[in-house]
Structure 1
Amino acid sequence: MNFEQLTYTVRDRVALITFNRPERMNALTKVMEREIRDAMEQAGQDPQVRAIVLTGAGRAFCAGMDLEELEVLPPDDIRAQKWMRPYDMNRRADYQTRYSYFPAVHKPIIAAINGAAAGLGLIMALYSDIRFASSSAVFSTAFAKRGLIAEHGIAWILPRVVGPGHAADLLMSSRKVSAEEALRMQLVNRLVEPEALLDEALAYARDLADNVSPRSIRVMKRQLWEAPYQTLGEAVADANKEMFLSILSADFKEGVQHFMEKRPAEFTGE
């Protein structure tokens, strides 16, 4: 599949998806929005891909929606069916909306945040599973300074990542947050020097691809994203069911065997 506003490559079982409008700080357009969805779907379905890294070209990760896209008013109704994923009864409905679909991709998504992540760029980073950031990255919700509101579920996910107080601060003030402060509030998981960011994110993704059961990651990712809707009892019951199934899996047998034989794992994801 050819893309116009992003690049997509696969190497060593890792898909690298790069926002590619550096002259506009990778500001989101309708074209890019459609392409990122297609690229995530492609990576999710590709048996040669076991992990996904999302980053931006140039000095920004994604600076939010391109304001030129909003000049024609009224804009498209964001509730329109065309912006929804094709309904899949095997995926939770919460994770089939316009931007909340990253959790429905059954592979780990690592955001390598190389620069500014604002508005929708921050939302996509939040819906990723793990966030590495350049020490020069800057974060902002931006919405209140544009006369907008907490869009696309950020009022649900941001408090779960940084806590209610930090979420209220970031949303209501729309202030810029440095990489160091983002790490302190756990908005990001790891800070890396700018020149090493992509290499470190890719190395982490390759480690997942090479040394961890794809089946385990697939199930764990579902468990993590289902947990906010479950009671503790429901989460335990779900874990007990999945534990029984995992013991019957080929990856469990390989996990034991490669450990006993002291050799690299050869997981199949089955």
Structure 2
Amino acid sequence: MSRIASAFAAAAAENRAALVCYLMSGYPTPERYLQDAQKLLETCDLLEVGIPFSDPLGDGPTVQRAGERVLADGMTTERAFRLLRDLRARTDKPLVAMTYYNPIFCYPGGPAAFAAALKAAGGDGVILPDLPPDEGEEFIEAAREVGLDTVFLIAPTSTDERLKLVTSACRGFVYAVSVTGVTGARSSVGADVAGMVARAKAVTGLPIAVGFGVSSRETAAAIGAYADGVVVGSALLSAQERGADLGEFVGELAAGCRRG
């Protein structure tokens, strides 16, 4: 069983949704990023590590600002891998890269080399928000070769046929977006999200994690009541911007993930 599968299984055994946290590699500085990541990993079940790209079509303003800042400071895919290697030396919890396909396609040696480098740095999987799985056979095969889980996105607008196709290409878990727009903290999540999760569960046995919009203990609890995982990203980056105590905030989110 992979680290990702084990993390979701452990959360389910404790009657709670897994808490999945996102940070942008190197934000706001490499040193602070590593400190914040370690603090989150004391509580969360899985950490998503953002690898920045200059045209992040699925990112809202908070994630875009973080990406633009680290790119301006010289962040590259290779530097993100070095930071990931540092994190892996400090934790046994799952570490999953989240990036667009352009950095993968343009990586020296191509998708196979990217997959091998990510695995060597300690990555357990990769989330691909802009790569349709029916166009991603090359990367999926490369990821399978080195033992990386591949995570693709479903949305409330996904048809049942599309749900089958996307979930069949996933390993580890399925990423369900709560809205059809970009990332960003919201005060509530649409009523159609629970229905999307139920439809996805009808076609796959993989855990379903819901993201895009989780900003508080209340939204985490609402999603955690029916989803296997709760993904928090923009709200954490906003907390970093404010200089807030991430440990206290992630503790509140984790409390929301507990059921009963």
* Structure ID, larger Rg: 1
Q: TM-score normalised to the size of structure 2?
A: 0.33
Higher RCO (CA 8 Å, separation ≥ 6 residues): 2
Q: TM-score normalised to the size of structure 1?
A: 0.32
